[in-house]
Amino acid sequence: MKRMLFNALLVIVFMGVAAIGQQEAFAAGTITGSVETKRAKYKKNVVVYLKNVQGTFNAPQEPYVVDQQDLTFIPHVLPVLVGSKVNFKNSDNVNHNVFSPTECKSFNLGTFGPGGYKTVTFDKTCVVDLLCNVHSEMSAYVVVLDNPYFSLTGADGSFTIRNVPAGTYEIAVWSEKMKAETQSVTVSDGSSATVTFNLTR
Ligand SMILES: [Cu+2]
């Protein structure tokens, strides 16, 4: 009888240790939320990002792609971690000439034709305007951030930032046309925090 009790106790202790181990494996939280505005079309393409996150972050080896299709940059807004590479493709059957006048990352890829691409490394944190010398109506943005905790809103304005280490952060938005106040958010292990931004002009 004593022996059975001892065995049962062992099992309980073992399960306890296993549970702690599992908790550690998920030692991060999620931030979800949305951007709200009466101007529905501005809910989309808003970058939501954390500021001043401690740590060293490595940009992905694989380049991102900004395509040019039907005289449009796709995507219109691309958030990346600093150090990321972007391949500018041309999927149209006309020439394009991608350039940026933005001071922190000015470049001019020259004119290139259908099927071609050129690579740019975004090595400073700033918002880089993309334009085309051939088509004045073309524009897009690369938003270069200092940590990987960011998200781009969909058409409904919703966003999710995953695997955020527990802590209290400033959370901010970048939008082509709108503004919102920076907020504070506290993330705890294994849970989800919610943030709503009210965008105004
Ligand atoms: Cu063009």
Q: Does 52 share its domain with 74?
A: no
Same domain? 134 vs 88:
yes
* Residues 119, 177 within the same domain: no
Instruction: State whether 45 and 72 are in the same domain.
Output: no
Give the Å distance between the CA of 117 and the centre of ligand 1. 13
| Together in a domain, 50 and 63 | no
Q: Half-sphere exposure (CA, 13 Å, Cβ side) for 119?
A: 9
* 23 domain-assigned: no
In a domain, 6, yes or no: no
143 CA distance to ligand 1 middle (Å) = 20
Q: Per-residue pLDDT tens for 128-152?
A: 999 999 999 999 999 999 999 999 9
pLDDT at 86: 98
pLDDT score, position 15: 53
- 149 touches 164 (CB < 8 A): yes
86 and 109 fall within a common domain? yes
Residue 96 CA to ligand 1 center (angstroms) comes to: 4
Residue 107 lies in a domain: yes
Question: For 74-94, what is each residue's pLDDT tens digit?
Answer: 999 999 999 999 999 999 999
- pLDDT reading at 32 higher than 70: yes
- In this structure, are 124 and 72 located in the same domain? yes
| Same domain? 109 vs 92 | yes
Angle at 33 between CA 27 and CA 34, to 5 degrees: 155
Domain co-membership, 46 together with 93 = no
Distances (CA, A) of 169 to 47, 86, 166: 16, 28, 9
Sheet holding 107-108, edge to edge: 77-81, 139-145, 127-132, 98-100, 107-108
Domain closes at, from 145, 163, 189: 145
Q: Which residues share a beta bridge with 158?
A: 34
Distance from Cα 69 to the centre of ligand 1, integer Å: 9
Clarify whether residues 74 and 133 are in a common domain. Answer: yes
Entry pTM: 0.86
Number of domains in the chain: 2
Domain final residue, candidates 98, 123, 145? 145
Same domain, 121 and 152: no
For residue 134, the CA-to-ligand 1 centroid distance in Å is: 5
| 51: CATH | 2.60.40.1120
For 194, the domain range is 29-57+147-201
Q: Which two tokens stand for residue 150?
A: 């960011």
Whether residues 67 and 141 fall in one domain:
yes
CATH of the domain at 66: 2.60.40.420
